[in-house]
Amino acid sequence: MFNVGMTSRVLLTRRAFLADLGRGSAAIAVLSVVGCGQAPTSASSTPSSASSRPSAATASSGPTTPASAATRLNASPGPSAAATPGGSGGGEAAWTRVELGFVSAYILVRDGEAVVIDTGVAGSDDEIKTALGGLGLGWSDVGHVILTHKHSDHAGSVVPVMTAATGAQGYAGAADLRAIIAPRPLTAVTDGATVAGFRIVATPGHTLGHISVLDETNGILVAGDALGTVGGTLAGSNPQFTEDAAAAKASVVKLGNLRFETLLVGHGDPIEGGASAQVKALGRG
| Site of interaction with Zn ion (CB under 5 A) | 36, 151, 225
- 72 vs 151, which CB is nearer to Zn ion? 151
- 25 vs 38, which CB is nearer to Zn ion? 38
Region of 26 on the Ramachandran plot (φ > 0 left; ψ -120 to 50 alpha; else beta): alpha
- 36 vs 105, which CB is nearer to Zn ion? 36
Q: How far is the CB of 6 from Zn ion (least distance, A)?
A: 29
Q: How far is the CB of 261 from Zn ion (least distance, A)?
A: 24
Q: How far is the CB of 186 from Zn ion (least distance, A)?
A: 17
Per DSSP, which regions of 142-265 are E strands? Answer: 142-146, 169-173, 187-189, 194-195, 198-202, 211-215, 220-222, 227-228, 235-236, 262-264
Residue 2 buriedness (CB in 10 A; 0-12 / 13-18 / 19+): exposed
Q: How far is the CB of 33 from Zn ion (least distance, A)?
A: 12
Percent helix / strand / coil, the chain, rounded to 5: 40, 20, 40
Q: How far is the CB of 180 from Zn ion (least distance, A)?
A: 12
Please give the Cα distance from 240 to 225 (Å, whole number): 12
- 109 vs 223, which CB is nearer to Zn ion? 223
- 151 vs 254, which CB is nearer to Zn ion? 151
- 37 vs 62, which CB is nearer to Zn ion? 37
The residue sitting closest to Zn ion, measured at its beta carbon, is 36
Grouping H, G, I as helix, E, B as strand and the rest as coil, residue 160 is helix
- HSE-CB at 98 with a 13 A cutoff on CA atoms is 27
First to last CA, the chain: 43
- 41 vs 55, which CB is nearer to Zn ion? 41
Q: CA–CA distance from 98 to each of 50, 120, 133 (Å)?
A: 27, 9, 12
Among 44, 49, 45, CA closest to 59: 49
Q: How far is the CB of 267 from Zn ion (least distance, A)?
A: 8
Q: How far is the CB of 154 from Zn ion (least distance, A)?
A: 6
